[in-house]
Amino acid sequence: MKTIVLAGSPNTGKSVFFCSLTGKYTTVSNYPGTTVEIFRGIAKISGKAVEVIDTPGIYSLKPVTEEEAVSVRLLTETSPDLILHIVDAKNLQRMLPLTLDILKGSTPLILVLNMMDEAERLGVRIHKKELSRRLGIPVLETSITKGQGINALKKEIGSQLSKQGNAKRKNRHGNLALVHSSFKNHREAEKLLDGVFFKGAPNAFKGLEKFVLHPFGGSVLITFILYVGLYLIVGRFGAGYLVNMLEGELFGRLIIPWAERWTEMYIPGVMIRQLLVGEFGIIALGLRYAFGIILPIVGTFFFVFAILEDSGYLPRIAFLADGLMKKIGLNGRAIIPLILGFGCGTMAVLVTRTLENRRERIIATFLLTLAVPCSAQLGLILAILSSEPRYLLGWIIVITAFFTITGVLINTLLPGRRTPFFMELPPLRLPTIKAVTQKTFARMRWYFSEIIPVFMFISIFLWLLTVTGIWGVFSGKLTPILDLMGLPQSLSTVFLYGFFRRDYGAAGLYDLYMQGLVNSVQLFIAAVVLTLFVPCVAQLAVMVKERGAVVTALIVLTVAVTAVIAGIMLNKILF
C-alpha cells in the first residue's frame, strides 16, 4: 500500500486533513502542539486504499521538543510515497523554508496552502500557478475546515501516486537528515515569493484580543473562566445535578433495584449474585461509578476544555502564566498539560512531550501526580465539600500550597535549567458546536475504553478478595495508618480504589459521604489525602512509558509519603 505523510508547522490544520481523508477523528484544536503522536489511517483515493500518516507539527527539520523529533524521524528515516506539506497560507513566507528543506529529499511533495479563507479575508493574494512553476511541485489551495479544495487535493494525490508506478522505492532521502532550515533558506524563500505572494492588510490588535492579554484584565478573565468552567459547569452542573440524576435516580432507583430482583430470580449462586450486585459488584459498583458518577463529570470537563482549546485561549494563558511557572522550574508552555491534568492526568502526562527538556517533563509529571486532581476527583470533591465552604476553601489552599512548595523544592533540588519561553499565538476563533461536541465525544470514548476494562477487573478483584477473606486482613493492615490521619476504617476501601483509579477513589468517598459514614473534618482530610495520593493505574502505565520505571518509582514513592504526612499533619492540627 502507498503511504502519504501530512507534515507542516504546528496549528496549520494537518489533523483536519487527516480526518477528512480517512474519516478517522484525531483531536483537533486551535493551538500549536495538539498532536503529540503519529496517527495512521486509511484513505480511499482514486479507488485505491492509501495509508495516511498525521504527524505532530514541526517548525524545521531540527526538532526542539520530543513530539517534533517524532515527526522529523518519520520524514528523514522512513520512505513515504508522497508528502503533503500543509501551510497556513497567510504565513507562507515563514513556512516556505520548510518546503525547501523537504524538497531536498527525493520524496514527491505537494504544497497545500490551507486556511485560504482567512488569508483572503486579510487581502493576501498568492499566484499559485507561478509558485508551482518556480518550485516544480503541485501547489493547491484549501480551506479545509469548510471542506473547500479537498476534492481537487484528492485528485492530485491520486495522479501523483499513479505516476510513480508500483516499484518499491528505496529510502531515497538519507541526505534529508542533515538538512535544516538555514538563514540562506529564508532568503531563498523570499526570492521565490517575490511577485508571487502579496501581503494584505495587517490583522488588527484590538477589543477582546487586547483584553485577554492584558496583565490585569487577563488574570480577571482566567479567574472568571475557572469559576464558570470548573466550579459552575463541572462542579455544580456535572458533579452535582447530573450525578444526582444518573447515579441517584437512574442507578439508585431503577437499574440497581431491577438488577437485584433479576439476579434474585435467575441467578442461583450467592457468590455470582455477589459478583453482580454485591458491595463490589460489577453493576452495583463498577457500572454505577463509571456511568453514574464519572461519565457526567469527565464529560462536562472535556466539553469546557474543548471550548478553551478551540478558542485559541490556552497559548494566551501560557504567556500570562510564564512568570509564575518559572518559579517552579517550568515555563509558560507547561500550563497546557497542567490544565489538561484537571481533566485526565493520563492524557496530561502524554502531553508533557510538548515541553522542551527532560527536567521540565519530570517536574510537570511530578506535579501532575501529586497536586493536580483529575476532573472526576475535582468534580466530586467540589460537590462533597461545597456544603461546607470553609473546608472547600481549605482544600483549595492546602492543594495549592503543596503544588507551590513542592514545585519550588523540586526546582531547587533537580540539577539542570529550564528553557526560555516562546510560543506562537494562534488567532482567537469562535469554537464551533460541531468541533467541540466531536472532540468531547472522541475524548469520552477514549476515556471509557480505558476505564471499562479496569472497572471490570477491580470488581472481580475486590470480589475475590472479599470471598477469600484477604480483604479483611488487608484493610486491617491499613487501619493504623488511617488512625494516624484520624480516618475511619471504612476509608481503606476508598484508598484501595484510589490506587486503581483516582476517579473511583473519589467516587468511593462520595458514596461514604452520601451514607453519612464520615464527618466533615474526616471528609476534608480524606479529600486532601486522596487528591495528593498516587495516580491511577492508567496514569502509572503512561508514566512508565514516558518517563521510565526509575523516575516513576521515585515520583510515586515521594507522592505516597507526602500524602500520608499531609493527612497526619492535618489531623494533628484539626483535632
Partner 1 sequence: MGEITTLNECKEKTEGTIVEISSTDSRILGKMMSLGIIPGASFILLRRGSGVIVQIGYTKVALDAELAMLVRIKPRR
Kindly give, in sequence order, each residue whose CB lies less than 8 Å from that of residue 80, ignoring residues fewer than 6 positions away.
3, 4, 5, 53, 107
User: In 3D, which of 15, 38, 17, 34 has the Cα closest to residue 26?
Assistant: 15
DSSP result, 245-256 = IIIIIIIIIIIH
Element (DSSP H or E) covering residue 19: helix 14-22
Cβ at position 29, least distance to partner 1 in Å: 17
Give the strand order in the sheet containing 139-141.
Answer: 39-45, 48-54, 2-7, 82-88, 109-114, 139-141
Under rule CB under 8 A, residue 332 binds partner 1: yes
- HSE at residue 337, side-chain half, CA atoms within 13 A, is 30
Choice from 247, 322, 360, 503 touching partner 1 (CB under 8 A): 322
**Residue with smaller CB distance to partner 1, 332 or 486:** 332
DSSP state of 42: E
Q: For partner 1, which is the closer residue by CB, 213 or 564?
A: 213
422 binds partner 1 (CB under 8 A): yes
- The closest of 304, 450, 431, 442 to 25, measured between CA atoms, is 442
The reply to whether 318 sits near partner 1 by the rule CB under 8 A is yes
Name which of 28 and 124 has its Cβ closer to partner 1. 124
Distance of CA 558 to the CA centre of its chain: 24
Q: Shortest distance, CB of residue 370 to partner 1, whole angstroms? A: 26
Q: Kindly state the smallest distance separating residue 25's Cβ from partner 1, in Å.
A: 28
Q: Tell me which residue of 196, 5, 1 sits closest to 108, measured CA to CA.
A: 5
Candidate segments 59-67, 259-267, 375-383, 522-530, binder of partner 1 by CB under 8 A:
59-67
Q: Which is nearer to partner 1, 151 or 223 (CB)?
A: 223
Cβ-contact 211, 221 below 8 angstroms: yes
Q: Nearer to partner 1 by C-beta: 222 or 568?
A: 222
First-to-last CA distance in the chain? 69
- Asked if 512 and 518 touch (Cβ cutoff 8 Å), the reply is yes
Interface with partner 1, residue 424, by CB under 8 A: yes
> Looking at beta carbons only, is 93 or 132 nearer to partner 1?
93
Q: Which of 19, 320, 338, 509 binds partner 1 (CB under 8 A)?
A: 320
- SS3 call for 366: helix
Bridge-based pairing of strands 2-7 and 82-88 is: parallel
Q: Is residue 238 a contact residue for partner 1 (CB under 8 A)?
A: no
- The set of residues, in sequence order, having a beta carbon less than 8 Å from that of 119 and lying 6+ positions away, is 88, 89, 90, 113, 126, 200
Residue with cell 487527516: 18
Which residues in the 391-420 window bind partner 1 by CB under 8 A?
420
Q: Shortest Cβ distance from residue 327 to partner 1 (Å)?
A: 11
90 contributes a contact to partner 1 by CB under 8 A: yes
User: Shortest approach of partner 1 to residue 311 CB, angstroms?
Assistant: 15
Q: Provide, rounded to whole angstroms, the least separation between the CB of residue 373 and partner 1.
A: 27
Residue 250 contacts partner 1 per CB under 8 A: no
Phi, psi of 110 (to 5 degrees): -120, 130
Out of 159, 171, 203, 519, name the contact with partner 1 by CB under 8 A.
203
Residue 9 or 365 with smaller CB distance to partner 1: 9
3-class secondary-structure state, position 263: helix
Residue 323 binds partner 1 (CB under 8 A): yes
Of the listed pieces 41-49, 313-321, 390-398, 541-549, which binds partner 1 according to CB under 8 A? 313-321
Please tell me whether residue 429 binds partner 1 under the rule CB under 8 A: no
Closest distance of CB 318 from partner 1, Å: 7
CB 411 within 8 A of CB 366: no
Q: What does 335-353 look like in DSSP terms, one character per residue?
A: HHHHHHHTT-HHHHHHHGG
Nearest distance, CB of residue 322 and partner 1, angstroms: 6
- The pattern of x and - marking residues 207 through 236 that bind partner 1 according to CB under 8 A reads ------xxx---------------------
Looking at residue 198, its amino acid is F
- Nearest-approach distance from CB 339 to partner 1, in angstroms: 17
Site for partner 1 contains 18 (CB under 8 A) = no
Name the amino acid, one letter, at 131: L
Phi-psi region of 512 (alpha: psi -120 to 50; beta: other; left: phi over 0): alpha
By CB under 8 A, the residues from 33 to 52 that bind partner 1 are none
Residue 311 within binding range of partner 1, rule CB under 8 A? no
Residue placing its CB nearer to partner 1 in the complex, 160 or 331: 331
Task: Indicate whether 357 belongs to the interface with partner 1 (CB under 8 A).
Answer: no
**How many residues line the site for partner 1 (CB under 8 A)?**
40
Site for partner 1 (CB under 8 A): which residue of 24, 73, 94, 154? 94
Binding residue for partner 1 (CB under 8 A) from 342, 366, 402, 421? Answer: 421
Which of the stretches 33-41, 91-99, 145-153, 393-401 binds partner 1 when contact is defined by CB under 8 A?
91-99
- Binding string, 101-140, against partner 1, x = CB under 8 A? ---------------------x-x----------------
Restricted to residues 166-195, the positions that interact with partner 1 (CB under 8 A) are 180-181, 183, 186
Q: HEC profile for 140-185?
A: EECEHHHCECHHHHHHHHHHHHHHCCCCCCCCCCHHHHHCCCCHHH
Q: Classify strands 39-45 and 2-7 as parallel, antiparallel or unpaired.
A: unpaired
- One of 62, 73, 273, 429 touching partner 1 (CB under 8 A): 62
Contacts for 387 with CB less than 8 Å, ≥ 6 apart? none
423 binds partner 1 (CB under 8 A): yes
Secondary structure element (H or E) that encloses residue 139, with its range: strand 139-141
Which residue from 425, 528, 532, 559 is in contact with partner 1, where contact means CB under 8 A? 425
Residues found near partner 1 in the complex (CB under 8 A): 9, 59-60, 62, 64, 88, 90-91, 93-94, 97-98, 122, 124, 180-181, 183, 186, 199, 202-203, 205, 213-215, 315, 318-320, 322-323, 326, 331-332, 420-425
